[in-house]
Structure 1
């Protein structure tokens, strides 16, 4: 009798092992697709203001130990509710920091259908971006969600994407990472001793040939009020000549004729490194005080690195 029970137990164990192996095998070979994105389902594209149009892509990856054995058609929809959820989760009632949908005139998606080809592990859906006119102070998203698909399985955690559009020009990026070193000289416009003002300045792109920067040694702030009160615009001509203008309310006057601070932009090589360099001379008034400012702004850069970034 013992032998009979032992044989039955062995048989049941074998059956269970076979079932477990079949489940394991199915899970191992199962194809699951998902949007390729970073944390919080965001994927960022930095577009160049020098170009009327930049092509970008949202992409799907296909997991599983084997490639797809058939084409999979994925239908995508734009869903602004995804931006609402992102804003609530990240900023709650701080409406000033809310992301916004990228206005339709700035992009085009030729088709909201993506076919993941048999034998592949990836699929792409092109998006063309037309960036001129975007604000560097706004977070723009194109919110996309998988609506349906005809085969395979979808990873629910990566079933949507917030396509984040940012911009750059030859002098700066809109993510706040462009920091020039300043060598400044300032004096009271009514006369007095000239003082040195070393420091750094964040430079932000506005258009294909203009950037925004704070005047003098005014503290940088990402608030609209700070920019309107104390920011200037530098427009750069093809020959490097710089025109200085107020961003909004600032009283500012460009001063020309100084050989050292000549209101020019140029590329400079010191024998070791290459720099982007502004030489500026202007007078500005904030509140009751007026100042004359001379400044050099320099940013070390690599032409090869920038060219590689432009290909991404």
Structure 2
């Protein structure tokens, strides 16, 4: 009987000890503590920020974080720097010589309030505000703000050499995919078109043929929504557009217009297919 009692006590003690050990495990850090710039794990360290041309100053954020199973018990101080070499490296690795290359976002088009971030005790992230001024950004160019973490006082920096590219993608209240239907010199057509934002109230479509950037100068049609929802139409580069008029229906997100394109009579409609950002 004594042997059975002693055995039971031993088993019970084992469970108690194991329970205590498990409790201590979860109260202790299980991983290496590091600071990192959010975005280093994305393919090519490329992170997209959508910006509306209608916003004179669009606010977005850059985030820094800490790894580990526990949040830090003290403030963590991180410093970022800009590193344009990251743009060159990305273009070389992910872009062919015939594709549009990323370029640095012009200094006049953004403002970073501070390059220092403080992750407060008990938290795992901190955000740095970035103001983007989209006016003047070209719709066919690729822009990026290249940042990396220069230092952290309290923790080592994860992937310290990785430059995160914050790519700026512009849109407006009218850009997106549309059903493009109508007649061109009496011949009916029905196409899907991606209306690209040119500025806060102008979009560009390809009035005919395939959507290839090389064809934009000859087939690009711009449509501007005026304050009274009437339309102004023009050719992007070489397209000859005359006698253009029309209107925009904001409730149904529909454009209707007539014009002459290179002398041909065009009557067309753009009916929103997505009602989403470009």
TM over 0.5: yes
Residue 186 and residue 238 in structure 1: after superposition, are their counterparts in 2 closer, same or farther (change >3 A)?
same
Is 1:47–2:51 an aligned residue pair?
yes
Within-5 A mapping of 1:112-151 = 112-151=115-154
Structure of higher RCO (CA pairs closer than 8 Å, 6+ residues apart)? 2
Is 1:100–2:103 an aligned residue pair?
yes
Task: Tell me if structure 1 keeps the 8 A contact 2:232–2:244.
Answer: no
**Residue in 2 that maps onto 1:5:** none
Cα distance in 1, alignment partners of residues 126 and 62 from structure 2: 9
Task: Tell me if structure 2 keeps the 8 A contact 1:210–1:233.
Answer: yes
What are the ranges of 5 or more consecutive residues in structure 2 without an aligned counterpart?
A: 1-26
State which of 199, 204, 212 in structure 2 corresponds to 1:207: 199
Cα distance in 1, alignment partners of residues 140 and 264 from structure 2: 28
Is 1:220–2:203 an aligned residue pair?
no
Give the paired residue count.
Answer: 253
- SS across alignment from 1:279: strand
- SS across alignment from 1:170: coil
Within-5 A mapping of 1:1-312 = 28-37=30-39, 38-92=42-96, 94=97, 96-156=99-159, 159-172=162-175, 178-187=176-185, 194-215=186-207, 217-223=208-214, 226-256=215-245, 263-268=246-251, 275-285=252-262, 290-301=263-274
Cα distance in 2, alignment partners of residues 95 and 137 from structure 1: 14
**1:32 deviation in Å?**
2.0
> What per-residue deviation string (whole Å, max 9, x for no partner) do you get for residues 59-115 of structure 1?
0122211111222211111000000000010125x1542100000000011211111
- SS across alignment from 2:86: helix
Structure-2-length-normalised TM-score: 0.84
Residue 161 and residue 30 in structure 1: after superposition, are their counterparts in 2 closer, same or farther (change >3 A)?
same
Task: Tell me if structure 1 keeps the 8 A contact 2:150–2:160.
Answer: no
Task: Tell me if structure 1 keeps the 8 A contact 2:58–2:132.
Answer: yes
Cα distance in 1, alignment partners of residues 84 and 183 from structure 2: 49
Residue 82 and residue 41 in structure 1: after superposition, are their counterparts in 2 closer, same or farther (change >3 A)?
same
Task: Tell me if structure 1 keeps the 8 A contact 2:29–2:70.
Answer: no
**1:29 deviation in Å?**
4.6
Cα distance in 2, alignment partners of residues 40 and 219 from structure 1: 29
> What per-residue deviation string (whole Å, max 9, x for no partner) do you get for residues 186-208 of structure 1?
21xxxxxx221111212100111
Task: Tell me if structure 2 keeps the 8 A contact 1:41–1:158.
Answer: no
Cα distance in 1, alignment partners of residues 224 and 256 from structure 2: 13
CA root-mean-square deviation: 2.5
Cα distance in 1, alignment partners of residues 244 and 57 from structure 2: 36
- SS across alignment from 2:178: strand
- SS across alignment from 1:82: helix
Structure-1-length-normalised TM-score: 0.75
Cα distance in 2, alignment partners of residues 118 and 27 from structure 1: 15
- SS across alignment from 1:227: helix
